[in-house]
Amino acid sequence: MLKLSGGRPLWERVSLDVFARSVHGRLMREGLILKLSCPDKPGLVARIASHASEFQANLVEFNQFIEQERGVFYARLEIDTASLEVPVEDFIASFEVLGRAIQANWHFRRLPYTMRTAVLVTKTDHCLNEILWRTQLGELPIEITSVIGNRTDCREIAETAGLPFHHVEMTGDKEEGFRRIEALLDKQEVELAVLARFMQIIPPWMCEKYEGRMINIHHSFLPAFIGANPYRQAYERGVKFIGATCHYVTGDLDAGPIIEQEVERVQHHHSVQDLVRLGRDCERSALARGIRHHVHDRTIIDGRRALVFPD
């Protein structure tokens, strides 16, 4: 969790810490998150629940979804392990038998945890500020390893928050710049890269390397008004809604699986500047929720779309 910058009074730091532990205590306690997918068949929920019960594990949450056309069962479970009769490692290992029996792909995550996250920026800072604020509140269980920018506009914000800022020049050889970013992400052992209005096109090799681990915020309600100056296009078309789309990054530009979207109604008296203001609000909200869904293991990528279990 991001440490608060220096200079805050002790009572404020304690209050925020207590707030984070009390309101978001579900991810602070010890436990497991289990995500799985398998061919759909009768009795899956009962078999999974019975397996947990056999070891005295308490199912705090059980979300499921069946993709009817292909007959695929998806589930996300949150498991309280406080009353387990065996070590957590043994419980995880025990799922091997059931997992193979139901032909599942599965993944466990230990709780509590923080996800090592790098934030990439260019000039605008509203998305970066939103991430910093929500992380400080404890809403996002992430450890921000650094802020990486192809411009220096956000350096002061990052350093004020006590975060390293890395300036990577992209005006010349962009391939060299992206290789530098790759080296930084590798060195910091980053699990998630967030493009917080990072105005550069990610090369295909990087999209492939960070597939499912790189999130972008797009300044429109996709798919619409692509290209330059989207707010001007929206204004000239007299749109009634504008929005923002948070999605996973893929080699298809702005066409990755969508995690979250946000919209605002536009009135006839709104100017271009008003649309920019409303758009910033949409971007901040959609990106924050998208990160939260990903970090809380609430997303499952299913081909070109992302399944998102409710929070």
Q: How far apart are CA 122 and CA 165, in angstroms?
A: 12
Structural contact between residues 291 and 194, judged by C-beta atoms closer than 8 angstroms: yes
- The pair phi, psi for residue 256, each rounded to 5°, is -75, 170
Q: What angle do CA 264, 267, 273 make, to 5 degrees?
A: 75
Provide the annotated active-site residues.
Answer: 254
Q: What is the DSSP letter of 278?
A: H
Q: How far apart are CA 187 and CA 127, in angstroms?
A: 24
| β-strands 72-80, 115-121 pairing | unpaired
Which residue, among 277, 292, 245, 286, has the nearest Cα to 137 in the 3D structure? Answer: 292
